[in-house]
Amino acid sequence: MKTRIFSLAMVVVLCAALIPSTPVSAADTNSDYTTISSSLQHVMIIKENGDLYGFGENAAGQVGNPGAEYSGTLHAWRPTFSPEFVLSDAVSVSAGLGHTAVIKSDDSLWTFGNNVCGERGDGKYGLPTDFVIKEGEEQVYFETEHFSMPIDEFYKPVKVMENVKSVSAGNTFTLAVKKDNTLWAWGRNQNGQLGNGKAGYGQEEHLPFKVMDGVESAYAAETFSYITMLDGTIWEIGNRLKPNLEEQSDGTWIDTNQGKCSPPRKIFDSVLEIHDGLVLMPDRSLYNLSDFTDGWIEKPVAIMNDVYVFTRPG
């Protein structure tokens, strides 16, 4: 027998991850940190001793400490207004839209937070269909059409893979580069950003898969992936096929490019620096790849010229 807590209401709570969090004073973070990564909703900090802290919007557990409680009713995951400890031995972190990816000192990759499209990479994906208490138990279970498990277990950091040198958490998808310079991807794929030759809703990858070799680093943007190869060239993965409408015999129209994806393409031959989507070219022009993700633009457009120094935490 199951006692139902609620279902649809929790979906609304998870969707609240799209709402920016309440601003937090920088003074609350202390100064002994080495790395900061922020999304629109939450901030992750690695201190000098390798301890990972997080704060901000936490509706999907992306801060790593969901704060769920049960005392007759289930309280929604609360925003975290000051840094809270998540895990130790962290050396790199990337904050995505509603999930977080962390590399530990042993080169293992860990993820936590939202998993609607499989962006955590552990195979346990989907929106909750119910939150229940099973007969004879006190803990609350997270249930989807694919699995059921205790809610406290679901929102703990999970180990995804080993031998990882860099990671980028994007808008419900994740890219990781291993130490052998192979690129791996998983999560949402509505625009073909994973590089598996498919595009569209329902084309998600819930476990990591190998995309290509010879990769130095990767950046997960809104609906595209940007890859820095070992030879210094920058490549884009994602669909730029324009709709191709054809009239059918019954008078309806269909897009013959639906579900198709344009192949990866080289967009820069060489760059001076690239940090989290910002690219500095040899002619000192600056490009923002995040602003290049909408529409069917043929090539990136410089946002500034005569740039000699730039920085972006992440």
Question: What number is the average pLDDT over the span 55-64?
Answer: 82
Summarize the confidence of residues 41-64 as an average pLDDT.
Answer: 88
The answer to whether the CB of 283 falls within 8 A of the CB of 275 is: no
Q: Is the pLDDT of residue 246 over 70?
A: yes
| Cα distances (angstroms) measured from residue 261 to each of 3, 149, 163, 191 | 45, 36, 30, 8
What confidence score (pLDDT) does residue 96 get?
A: 92
Token digits of residue 162: 């080993």
Question: Quick one: DSSP state of residue 250?
Answer: T
Q: Which residues make Cβ contacts (< 8 Å) with residue 204, sequence separation at least 6?
A: 117, 118, 125, 187, 188, 189
**Residue 243: what pLDDT?**
65
**Span 13-31, mean pLDDT?**
38
More confident residue, 131 or 25: 131
Q: How many CA atoms lie within 13 A of 272 on its CB side?
A: 13
Two tokens, residue 269: 């031959």
149-195 pLDDT, tens digit each: 777 777 789 999 999 999 999 989 999 999 999 999 999 998 889 99
Residue (of 256, 237, 238) closest to 246 by Cα position? 256
Question: How many CA atoms lie less than 13 Å away from 173 in the CB half-sphere?
Answer: 30
d(CA 156, CA 11): 19
**Could you tell me the strand order of the sheet in which 52-56 lies?**
33-38, 42-47, 52-56, 80-87
| pLDDT of amino acid 270 | 85
For residue 241, pLDDT over 50 is answered with yes
The tokens describing 57, both together, are: 């919007």
Query: Each residue of 254-285: pLDDT tens digit?
Result: 777 666 777 888 988 988 887 767 888 899 99
Lowest mean pLDDT among 186-200, 216-230, 232-246: 232-246
Cβ–Cβ < 8 Å for 21, 79 = yes
**Amino acid letter, 111:** T
Min mean pLDDT across 50-54, 97-101, 115-119, 292-296 is at: 292-296
Locus of tokens 């890859």: 227
Average pLDDT over residues 204-225: 92
For residues 98 and 25, the model is more confident at: 98
Q: What is the pLDDT of residue 12?
A: 36
| Phi, psi at 9, each rounded to 5° | -60, -35
> Which of residues 263 and 108 earns the better pLDDT score?
108
The one-letter amino acid at 36 = I
Instruction: Determine the average pLDDT of the residues in 192-209.
Output: 89
Nearest to 224 by CA among 181, 267, 284: 267
pLDDT, mean over the chain: 78
Side-chain half-sphere of 239: how many Cα atoms within 13 Å? 18
Note the CATH architecture for domain 2-239.
7 Propeller (2.130)
If one compares 302 and 72, the residue with the highest pLDDT of the two is: 302
Instruction: Provide, rounded to the nearest whole percent, the portion of the chain with pLDDT above 90.
Output: 34
Retrieve residue 295's tokens: 């529409």
pLDDT over 60 (residue 70): no
- Find the range with the poorest average confidence among 103-112, 181-190, 196-205: 196-205
Strand 286-288 and strand 278-280: the pairing is: antiparallel
**5 to each of 42, 116, 132, 137, 289, how far by Cα in Å?**
27, 20, 5, 14, 43
**Residue 67 pLDDT > 80:** no
Percent of the chain with pLDDT over 70: 73
- In the predicted model, is pLDDT for residue 198 greater than 90? no
